[in-house]
Amino acid sequence: MQYTQLGRSGLKVSRLCLGTMNFGPQTEESVAHSIMDSAVDSGINFVDTANVYGGAKHRGWTEEIIGRWFAQGGERRERVVLATKLYGTMTDRPNESKLSALNIRRALDSSLKRLQTDYIDVYQFHHVDRNTPWDEIWQAIEVAVQQGKILYSGSSNFAGWHIAQAQEAAARRNYNGLVSEQSIYNLLTRNLELEVIPAAQQYGLGLIPWSPLHGGLLGGVLKKERDGVRRLEGRAAETLKKHEEQIRAYEDLVDDLGHEPGDVALAWLLHQPAVTAPIVGPRTQEQLDAAIRALDVALDADALKRIDAIFPGHRTAPEDYAW
């Protein structure tokens, strides 16, 4: 397994992050525990979750599953860099969402209880809160750090100017601020390159991409449809129709390179200088094994150029707006 620093922090994390959103609703607990054991045994030490994961009828379910995994012992908690998130609505009570000082305190204590641990390594804001001032947010986080309940702070789904706003507010308080940003980033969705990635690099945030295969569209979907393995419906089918020519060209290129489409999509992210660790969210052991395999895929300059020709990015960001 390969490891790197999380942004400008001294924290070392694996180049793959285990996403747990499927644990509970899609993957039963015993299988989820087996996947986590396998991930840790393979060297993955970075685990991401959120307080809302588990579905509308059972928010917190995923954290509970992870907590029972920790409770099995065997230094499971000690071997993991644990990241969770708050922001989403947990109940119908007015202060059970977003980033008020009150919700930060209550949500953090509830997550700690569900996770059966006394601290969170990286506590992330699942979205920007436009109604709560940053001084209030950072004061609440500083208190939690002083209490030993969290060690680092991260953001998710922030715009570039949100990152700048958060970091400048933290600097005024002589506080460390954010160390990571978690956003959708993949070959089909590269608008992060315009401002979010430049902001993250400027302020020393590690980028943790979610949906690296864009819901499976970069995982060989056309081949799977031809083989009768998978059939897309609804929104996914509409997205495939819109990008079918690109995806077909991509699958042909990957076949020429001698790799699987999903492996190359993950490997491409690992070749991007701003990326710390893509989040892989396996429902099965086989999907985890495939993600780990991507670590061994090396893409040379010619392969990267050919991929960029199919999925053009923003090579001069943020100056793309001007020239």
**Catalytic site positions:** 53
Residue type present at position 162: H
- The neighbouring-strand residues paired with 156 are 182
Q: Are 36 and 62 in contact (CB under 8 A)?
A: no
Token readout for 180 is 């990571």
Angle at CA of residue 221, ends 220 and 225, nearest 5°: 120
| 176/69 Cα distance (integer angstroms) | 31
- The neighbouring-strand residues paired with 186 are 189
Q: Integer distance in angstroms from the first to the last C-alpha of the chain? A: 40
Q: Are 318 and 194 in contact (CB under 8 A)?
A: yes
| 190/155 Cα distance (integer angstroms) | 18
Residue 78, classified by CB atoms within 10 Å of its CB into exposed (0-12), middle (13-18) or buried (19+), is exposed
Token readout for 245 is 């020519």
Closest CA to 251 of 280, 218, 227, 228: 218
| 78/200 Cα distance (integer angstroms) | 28
| 78/74 Cα distance (integer angstroms) | 9
Token readout for 77 is 């908690």
